[in-house]
Structure 1
Amino acid sequence: MVSHAQTKQAKMLNLVPYVRPIVGTQRMGHTFPGATVPFGMVQLSPDTDTIPYEMNGKYNPDVYKYCAGYQYDDKTIVGFSHTHLSGTGHSDLGDFLMMPTVGELKLNPGTADQPNSGFRSSFSHVTEVAEADYYKVKLDDYNIVAELTATNRVGFHQYTFPKSDSAHIILDLVSGIYNYEDKNVWTFVRVENDTLVTGYRQTSGWGRTRTVYFAMVFSKPFLGYGTKNYSKKQVYRGFWGKFDQNNNFPEIAGKQIRMHFDFATQQSEKIKVKFALSAVSTEGALLNLRTETPAWDFEKVKQQGQALWNKELNKVLITSDEDGRENFYTAMYHAFINPTTYMDVDGSYKGLDQNIHTAKGFINYTTFSLWDTHRALHPLFNIIQPKRNADMIQSMLAHYNQSSLHMLPVWSNSANENWCMTGYHSVSVIADAVVKGNAPFDVNKALDACVITARHRSYDGIGYYMDMGYIPADKNGSSASTTLEYAYDDWCIAQMAKKLNRTAIYNEFSKRSENYHNVFDASVGFMRARMSDGSFKKNFDPLSTANQGFIEGNSWNYSLYVPHAPAELITMMGGKKRFTAHLDSLFTMELPDKYFAETEDITRDGIIGNYVHGNEPSHHVAYLYNWTDEPWKTQSTIRMIMEKQYHPLPDGLGGNDDCGQMSAWYIFSALGFYPVAPGSDQYALGSPSVTSAIIQLDNGKTFTIEAKDQGNKNVYVQKVILDDKPLNRLYITHQEITQGGKLVFYMGSSPVIK
């Protein structure tokens, strides 16, 4: 355990051994086990398969399994690619896959059921090592040991070969996650000399206009190289047809290209490859490579990367049992992967307008899964990553300025707006930072951007919402849930306006924030989609996710989604006693099998009764008992969820991590409090699972948490002391945390019933 004596030492603790990147790689966690630094632009990781988006002309449901490219149960590795999404429910990236081989040259990856038909290799978890910023595995078919580490913008490979006159390193420019025939728009490669290769890849996947440039350098000159173009339709080559472009030709272009670089190796010889990325140019990639990895010391780069992780992990020092430490620091690791850096070392980056910009005074970030991360990840950053969170907001505002629609990001990645999911949750992130005083930017311009986004009548039913107070079900498939999300976001805008004394905006959006009333059907006691004529949609089934007007949830879940007005919600639903019974039923009912088959991506992962922890709209729900007469049920339920949904094992996440949101929920809950409504300065109290924690704040102060008489059975809070005074309320404030101090929970095995 980490002792309090240790925390006083100047030397940072080594917390990397408690990180388990393999957590979430089995089933539906959709994490990757490879190498990355905190918020890094490169995620260098093994891919165990590359699944086509379509099979026999129909959507291939297996695509969903490979959102991060890796599934723990697979037996083969196809190669190591340089970009990955962490924990998402959608697939993309997987750029620039590399694979070392020996023997007969194969440029086809083969298939899992016939692995010898291609360059993939079998592997065993026995030889697999996954640490923060380090991955190692033996490729059994080739007797090659592959090791990976990374800096922010450079992936560093180290391959230990057997003795061979036919060693190869394959560069697969066809492969990608979310693969379909026309994803690759164009690829260009230029062999600069016998160690340096540059180029770029344009793709049209989930991000429809992505261009990624690269610079790749080998530690040893290759003896020769070759190319194969797998495009079904070959581009006319003109006079270039006079050359043999498949062997040792220095400029290669096409849609479906794979290359090989050939070597002769001695026994146990290491060939190293540094692979830098840029969204701007090959020149930018070269600058990134030479700046971040000027030498060939693999171990030093690994040590530097792990030191960066230790710096971030040391922001919260906990005492707990072994599983608790591994759960907690793995959650911190996953929470600090996204959003990702999106600029070169000189500050240049490609903007949403596809022009080159320079980030002045901030780090530009991308990978904003805001439907997920506005709930807990960004509020967590406001406590332990305030500077980064402010930079992320400035990145969102840059996105807004570059948007021809004048909208803040919804789900943005790599200079693309993916328009994924509902709501306009950038405003939640911005409001939360402004209300909590973490806003070193023009706050009034930020508020203006929020207001313009929220008044964008042509976007996803906003016009109906503004005119009617709800979105009609005959106009929008997720009408009810989107209405609820807009109402919460509008409340966030109102809180920001109140803080900035913008009275007219405060009044407008306070009124809009009450629109949740308009989709509540008092006759059934549930939120329910309404039609254009004002009637409620027929054939209502509160347990169904199909055609009910809710996205990724049912009415049971979304009827509890009024995070900004829980007391009013309780009144609407019949008072505290009936509301408590509703919550009890949510966690204890047995959901009939037919509801698991309604959509292709619904599984039993993350489900407790009808509570879906693996999907974010329910993440605040267990804390709602705090607004009833039985707040002790929040305490027992939170501990139950942590016990069931988080384990330091490959299948240890009960659903997609969603760019860190699942992990952020765990971190907050393990510490004993949670932001039910970001945009408020309050955190609802729960039941801490740690014995103690010290939060190292950026202002130099510390906030200490202790749980006296902690234990697996002692989940109930007997009393709470804040700075030596009884805390006779069920929340703490952001200021109480950031000014430093001490929060003490006294735990017991029986609830305190008043």
Structure 2
Amino acid sequence: MNIRHGITFVLVLCSTFLFAQKPTSPVDLVYPLADSKNSRWFFFNSASRPFGMVNLSPDTDVEGAWGSGYRYESDSIKGFSHIHAWQLSGISVMPLVDFSLSDSRDFGSPFNHSKEIVKPGYHQVYLDRYRVQVELTSTLRTGFHRYHFEEEGKQQVLLRIGSMLGPSAIIDGSIKQSSSMAFQGHIINGSTSRRPFETPVFFAIKFNRAVQDMEGWNPNEVTPNLAEIKGSDSGLIFSFDNSSSELLMKIGISYVSAEQALLNMDTELNHWDFEKVKNESFEEWNSYLSRIKVSGGSEKSQKRFYTDLWHALQGRRTISDVDGKYADMTSGKHLVKQIPLDNAGKPKHRHFNSDSFWGAQWTINTLWHLVYPEITEEFVNSMLLYYQDGGLIPRGPSGGNYTYVMTGASSTPFIVSAYQKGIRGFDIQMAYEGLLKNHRSGGIMEKAGYEHNTLLGGGFQYYLKNGFVPWPIPEGRFGAHQDGPSLTLEYAYQDWTLAQLAKQMGDSEAYSEFMERARYYQNVYDSETGWMRPRNVSGEWKTPFDPYQYNAGFNEANGSQATWFVPHDLDGLAELMGGKEKAIDRLNESFITSEKQGFTSGTSHSQEAHPEYRRIPINYGNQPSIQTAFIFQKLGRPDLTHFWTRAIVDRVYSELSPNSGYNGDEDQGLMGSLAVLMKVGLFQMNGGTEENPSYQIGSPIFDEISIQLNPNYYPGGNFIIKTLNNQPDNIHVKSAEFNGEGLNQLELRHQQIISGGELVLEMSPTPNQR
């Protein structure tokens, strides 16, 4: 064994011993590899801070948004890239040894999970081909690499300038040398069908040792000339002497300029102490995760809980710089703008990249607004920046672009819920103005998914004229998800939420307008079949009609799943079905049938349309029907809510394995958030959008849950949930007391919760009435 091999062996052994100890903090409980077999580009995270601009992790697969990034069953690492975001990628690097461009462009290396450590904020892996141990950590905007080389040969680091990387092709870029240890440059994410404009990302690189020589290539030839390294297939290899087995590298990024990338790096990381940054990352993650403390249950259930909570804080990324500069791409031009500064000269908030808020009304609306209200406030202010820059409040922006991901005006419930819960650090007049625009002609509600250039795909004109969106839309296809009944249901709910804000704003005319439209869901309910059903532009029902046919008028769902999407008027829906008892019986039968299939359409989103899985009545692997278990409670049967939520948690959200974990479409923390809420026993059917919103009380899986309330927003200190006799078979809430007083119904209001106190739930076996 040579000296360097011995050093690496000891490091691996010590690290393995350290991380194998009994978990002592939330970070130690998180299992980042959950469901990583089914990963997509922005799904897997390791060396990243909460909402980090940098999301540094290994890439085993680099083609497309789906099935890319880090995939557990892939056996070769192609590089380590710094951006894993909605429709964005970039800055891929790879340590090499004695590599020659004249021989090959195959840079990948096999690796083995037995030599791998993955934690929130840290990733360690060993590259078998090059015999290099790689360690990764980060600040918010800077990636930090530590490499230990075993080989005596030439130590090298590859930087890819142009290549296919996840959701977008890196079509061009450039690099220039600042000193023997520093470089700056940029890459360009080519436009995609979802992100309409080419989007630059800038970088600054520093090494802790001088670069000895460089060799690069462009699409035509190998070249040592930095000015010629550009194009869709290009890159550069830095070479170093082997005077030390350790090499450190920092890479700062910015969407504004290379100078800003350097500013981000120098501000956040002005030293070379890797251990310090790694530990600071652990501390930051612990500060977020420990806002909810759980006790009781198994160690596995606690690990899975903190894995879910970690997911709830992933995916949505910071895109503004440390000084508040950001890139506005809403017009297609790269415009540099400035976030307002506070009295101390610091940005008042950040700007964000984000996937859709489609389904957020049942997930992050409740979790973020209660536990992380400061994050909610930043996101609302970020949405208002997009409104000021581009004229619309977005539903899923990417690097300063609008993407028009999914459908409707999904940001409306998020913003309305924030305001109703007392999160008021934003311009409510501007927000209301923008939301009104989104819900009227010319607004974002008119646009179907990824409809960049027209306003026809959402069928909005028919919704206003006829009270429903037809299917098919007569004008043709202009985007994705042009599914009439689903659009009608979504618009009606979102209109109801905006009506609640109109009431708060004293706008009685708008309140009446949107409350009337909130009843339009009734126009796609077919009393003959008892399902929501597509109608054509003449009003005729789709014939033949199969309520289990997938994507036939229903967005990522079938008619059975979508029928229950009336979260704002379940009493009205039950009346259409012939009364509450009939509605409960029908929904219960749907759950009994769905249980046979594990409550999901397969074990990953890619299986959802498979003929053997798509005919499921309820699907907890995607957003359209994830509220259904709590419908029982709203219709007077909380025992069925408790029974089915426990069954769903057990079958869908309990595994700790790379092969499963979310069983569907974990869209940037939405399913993680849902799992957290079901496990602590709190839910909000209408997204928490009414005045002093109500929380439905479910069946917690832990003996005690303590939620630390942010004192800058809420006065209560802690909200504690205690369960008595909480055994595996005792899943029914027999009685409930809040601050010593009995509850007549299993609900609490927002003001009660944020004032702090203790909710005590006595658990018992569920009644045999299902």
Q: TM-score, normalised by structure 2?
A: 0.87
Match of 1:635 in 2: 642
Structure 1 residues 473 and 735: alpha-carbon distance in aligned structure 2, compared to 1, 3 A threshold: same
Match of 2:76 in 1: 76
1:511 to partner: Cα distance: 0.6
The equivalent position to 2:93 in structure 1, one of 89, 92, 98, is 98
Match of 1:561 in 2: 565
Which secondary structure state, in structure 2, belongs to the residue aligned with residue 164 of structure 1? Answer: coil
Instruction: Summarize deviations over 1:121-145 as a string: whole Å, max 9, x none.
Output: 1111111111010000111111110
Equivalent pair of 1:471/1:482 in contact (CA under 8 Å):
yes
User: Which aligned pairs between 1:348-363 and structure 2 lie closer than 5 A?
Assistant: 348-351=325-328, 352-353=330-331, 354-360=334-340, 361-363=348-350
Equivalent pair of 1:157/1:273 in contact (CA under 8 Å):
yes
The equivalent position to 1:399 in structure 2, one of 372, 376, 386, is 386
Distance 2:30 2:78 in 1: 25
Q: What is the alpha-carbon root mean square deviation over aligned residues?
A: 2.6
Match of 1:252 in 2: 229
Deviates more, 1:497-506 or 1:554-563: 497-506
| Structure 1 residue 121 corresponds to structure 2 residue 126 | no
Which secondary structure state, in structure 2, belongs to the residue aligned with residue 83 of structure 1? Answer: strand
User: Which aligned pairs between 1:265-284 and structure 2 lie closer than 5 A?
Assistant: 265-266=242-243, 269-284=245-260
Equivalent pair of 1:211/1:279 in contact (CA under 8 Å):
yes
Match of 2:723 in 1: 707
AA aligned to 1:217 is K
| Structure 1 residue 573 corresponds to structure 2 residue 577 | yes
The equivalent position to 1:65 in structure 2, one of 56, 64, 67, is 67
1:364 to partner: Cα distance: 1.8
Match of 2:12 in 1: none
AA aligned to 1:92 is Q
Instruction: Summarize deviations over 1:150-187 as a string: whole Å, max 9, x none.
Output: 1000011111111333221111123444467xx33421
Structure 1 residues 39 and 409: alpha-carbon distance in aligned structure 2, compared to 1, 3 A threshold: same
Match of 1:57 in 2: none
Instruction: Summarize deviations over 1:702-739 as a string: whole Å, max 9, x none.
Output: 10011111122111111111111111113211111111
Instruction: Summarize deviations over 1:252-273 as a string: whole Å, max 9, x none.
Output: 3333211111123257x11111
Instruction: Summarize deviations over 1:460-508 as a string: whole Å, max 9, x none.
Output: 2222211111111131731110111011110010011112221111111
1:617 to partner: Cα distance: 1.1
1:324 to partner: Cα distance: 1.7
| Structure 1 residue 652 corresponds to structure 2 residue 661 | yes
1:600 to partner: Cα distance: 7.0
Which secondary structure state, in structure 1, belongs to the residue aligned with residue 229 of structure 2? Answer: strand
Structure 1 residues 225 and 305: alpha-carbon distance in aligned structure 2, compared to 1, 3 A threshold: same
Distance 2:646 2:719 in 1: 22
Which secondary structure state, in structure 2, belongs to the residue aligned with residue 669 of structure 1? Answer: helix
The equivalent position to 1:157 in structure 2, one of 138, 145, 149, is 145
Structure with larger RCO (C-alpha < 8 A, sep 6+): 1
The equivalent position to 2:359 in structure 1, one of 357, 372, 375, is 372
Distance 2:611 2:140 in 1: 36
1:668 to partner: Cα distance: 1.0
Distance 1:413 1:434 in 2: 25
Equivalent pair of 2:649/2:675 in contact (CA under 8 Å):
yes
Distance 1:263 1:598 in 2: 44
| Structure 1 residue 299 corresponds to structure 2 residue 275 | yes
1:245 to partner: Cα distance: 7.7
| Structure 1 residue 27 corresponds to structure 2 residue 38 | yes
Distance 1:482 1:386 in 2: 30
| Structure 1 residue 422 corresponds to structure 2 residue 418 | no
Match of 2:459 in 1: 461
Instruction: Summarize deviations over 1:636-670 as a string: whole Å, max 9, x none.
Output: 11011111112222222222321111011111111
User: Which aligned pairs between 1:446-457 and structure 2 lie closer than 5 A?
Assistant: 446-457=431-442
AA aligned to 1:698 is N
Which secondary structure state, in structure 2, belongs to the residue aligned with residue 192 of structure 1? Answer: strand
1:752 to partner: Cα distance: 8.8
Distance 1:606 1:263 in 2: 54
AA aligned to 1:362 is H
AA aligned to 1:15 is P
Match of 1:312 in 2: 288
The equivalent position to 2:516 in structure 1, one of 511, 514, 518, is 511
User: Which aligned pairs between 1:479-518 and structure 2 lie closer than 5 A?
Assistant: 479-518=484-523
Match of 1:661 in 2: 670
AA aligned to 1:227 is G
Equivalent pair of 2:90/2:170 in contact (CA under 8 Å):
no
Structure 1 residues 123 and 245: alpha-carbon distance in aligned structure 2, compared to 1, 3 A threshold: closer
1:28 to partner: Cα distance: 5.3
Distance 1:301 1:692 in 2: 33
Distance 2:175 2:356 in 1: 32
Match of 2:202 in 1: 213
Match of 2:618 in 1: 611
Structure 1 residues 145 and 400: alpha-carbon distance in aligned structure 2, compared to 1, 3 A threshold: same
Distance 2:361 2:635 in 1: 25
| Structure 1 residue 478 corresponds to structure 2 residue 483 | yes
The equivalent position to 2:609 in structure 1, one of 602, 625, 648, is 602
The equivalent position to 2:177 in structure 1, one of 180, 183, 191, is 191
AA aligned to 2:467 is G
AA aligned to 2:75 is K
Match of 1:386 in 2: 373
Deviates more, 1:251-260 or 1:502-511: 251-260
What is the aligned-residue identity percentage?
Answer: 30
AA aligned to 1:328 is F
Distance 1:380 1:474 in 2: 36
AA aligned to 1:343 is S
Instruction: Summarize deviations over 1:296-319 as a string: whole Å, max 9, x none.
Output: 111101111111111111211111
Match of 1:8 in 2: none
Structure 1 residues 279 and 565: alpha-carbon distance in aligned structure 2, compared to 1, 3 A threshold: same
AA aligned to 1:253 is K
Structure 2, unaligned runs of 5 or more: 1-22, 341-347, 448-457
User: Which aligned pairs between 1:686-697 and structure 2 lie closer than 5 A?
Assistant: 686-697=698-709
Distance 2:310 2:388 in 1: 32
Equivalent pair of 2:36/2:70 in contact (CA under 8 Å):
yes
Which secondary structure state, in structure 2, belongs to the residue aligned with residue 451 of structure 1? Answer: helix
Equivalent pair of 1:588/1:608 in contact (CA under 8 Å):
no
AA aligned to 1:577 is E
Aligned residues: 700
Equivalent pair of 1:48/1:79 in contact (CA under 8 Å):
yes
Structure 1, unaligned runs of 5 or more: 1-11, 54-62, 86-90, 111-117, 235-243
Equivalent pair of 1:606/1:612 in contact (CA under 8 Å):
no
Deviates more, 1:411-420 or 1:481-490: 411-420
Which secondary structure state, in structure 2, belongs to the residue aligned with residue 589 of structure 1? Answer: helix
Match of 1:135 in 2: 123
Distance 1:592 1:624 in 2: 21
Distance 1:92 1:265 in 2: 38
Structure 1 residues 81 and 197: alpha-carbon distance in aligned structure 2, compared to 1, 3 A threshold: same
Structure 1 residues 191 and 107: alpha-carbon distance in aligned structure 2, compared to 1, 3 A threshold: farther
Deviates more, 1:459-468 or 1:135-144: 459-468
AA aligned to 2:759 is L
Distance 2:386 2:408 in 1: 17
Distance 1:283 1:43 in 2: 20
Distance 1:742 1:536 in 2: 51
Which secondary structure state, in structure 2, belongs to the residue aligned with residue 690 of structure 1? Answer: coil
Structure 1 residues 565 and 191: alpha-carbon distance in aligned structure 2, compared to 1, 3 A threshold: same
Distance 1:201 1:542 in 2: 47
Match of 2:161 in 1: 173
1:753 to partner: Cα distance: 7.3
| Structure 1 residue 730 corresponds to structure 2 residue 746 | yes
1:193 to partner: Cα distance: 2.2
Equivalent pair of 1:96/1:171 in contact (CA under 8 Å):
yes
1:605 to partner: Cα distance: 11
The equivalent position to 1:345 in structure 2, one of 322, 328, 346, is 322
